[in-house]
Amino acid sequence: MLQLAEIRGRQAVWQRREPELVADGAGLPACSHPPTSRPAPLPSGPVETCVCTPLGPMAWSIVGGCSAATVGAAVAPRLLFPRRVPLAV
């Protein structure tokens, strides 16, 4: 019963304050600032580093080959990385 009173109180406060909190946007400018170009390109992330390096395609083909040979994608990483490596499955 106490939660119901709290919820009703919040609703009443929101209904009372909504006009001043949610404006129609009439006073806002059309654009906050002119768009500019990026000063430098973004650095390569983990996906670009893995796929775009010379060894990237070979590593993916090895994983694919191990997956096909073991008939399971869960076993292939264990063959490639015998140490205990946390897998994101």
Q: What is the pLDDT of residues 35-72, one digit of tens each?
A: 788 888 888 777 776 666 666 677 777 777 777 776 66
The C-alpha atoms of residue 59 and residue 56 are separated, in whole angstroms, by 5
Phi/psi at 7 (nearest 5 deg)? -65, -45
pTM: 0.29
Q: What is the pLDDT of residues 6-42, one digit of tens each?
A: 999 999 999 999 888 887 777 777 777 887 888 888 8
The two three-digit tokens of residue 32, written as one number:
């906050």
The C-alpha atoms of residue 66 and residue 76 are separated, in whole angstroms, by 5
Secondary structure class of 23 (helix, strand, coil) = coil
Q: Where are the domains of the chain?
A: 56-83
